[in-house]
Amino acid sequence: MLAKTSVRLTMLGTGHAMTTRCYNTCFALAGNADGNYILIDAGGGNQILTRIEAAGLTWPALEAVYLTHAHTDHILGVPWLLRRFAYAPDGARRVIYGHADVLAALHLICRATLGPDFQERVSGAVAYRTVADGDTFRAAGLDLRAFDVQADRMRQFGLEAAWAGGRFVYTGDGRYNAGADSRAVGADWLMGEAFCLERDREFYRPGEKGHGTARDAGLLAARLGAANLVLVHTEDDHLSERRRDYSREAGEVFPGRVHVPDDLETIELS
Ligand SMILES: [Zn+2]
């Protein structure tokens, strides 16, 4: 009999772009007994280096990076990873996956901020792979599929991860468009953004930033028929009550289980 696949989601950050009490939303997915993981986004700065170590993840086990979009709070942590890879070579060549726009932005940032000798070292330590809507690839023991969430602002991709007996779908941090439903429907685990609670809508004005509330996320998860909903990319003014209040609000419209992880928390997906 095949051993049950162990799939772990580790949150390195759970906040939106301007949070100061938690890191920007980024996370690791591991689907192997050996603990190799793929990092999804890197947050907005060199705190990513601290977060990886604080979460108990090791550098050699970092197999690949997947970038959803080029906003500051997701992409600016990447040059720090590149520096880490370039100057602590362990022989592994990491793959950085992203759609054409996000990789173009990353190259621009690297050209402007890393010297030529540095870029030379980086090019020996990483390989870039451009992914298009629907492209599949394998990393960290998982079958992965990139898909365009059809956000109405900057181009943004989500990620689908499948393993024997389970499926996880990340719909990104922005307004998800129903055109992507074929990728996101019926997930065992659906992860998406909840900028704030309904009661604080007037204060945070999530709609102006292309975001929604915990209730919006619950309605989406209910419509897509998810079994579990993970809420991330939130404000950080109510961290001590966040789990309780966001779960309650999303749970009023979503019949499945709601998870509101803290930074550095790991959720066993299988
Ligand atoms: Zn963001």
User: Is the pLDDT reported for residue 1 higher than 60?
Assistant: no
From CA 133, how far away is CA 180, in angstroms rounded?
Answer: 10
- pLDDT digit string, tens, across residues 218-258: 999 999 999 999 999 999 999 999 999 999 999 999 999 99
Q: How far apart are CA 179 and CA 148, in angstroms?
A: 9
Strands annotated E in 14-52: 26-30, 37-40
Between the CA of 18 and the centroid of ligand 1 the distance, in Å, is: 9
Tell how far the Cα of 71 is from the centroid of ligand 1, in angstroms.
6
CA of 177 to the centre of ligand 1 (A): 16
CA–centroid distance, residue 268 to ligand 1 (Å): 24
Give distance in angstroms: CA of 211 to centre of ligand 1.
9
Q: Could you tell me the domains of the chain?
A: 8-265 (3.60.15.10)
Q: How many Å lie between the centroid of ligand 1 and the Cα of residue 24?
A: 7
Half-sphere exposure of 261 (CA within 13 A, CB side): 26
pTM for the whole structure: 0.96
For residues 151-171, average pLDDT: 93
Residue indicated by tokens 């066993």: 268
Cβ atoms within 10 Å, residue 4: 11
Q: Which two tokens stand for residue 252?
A: 């009023």
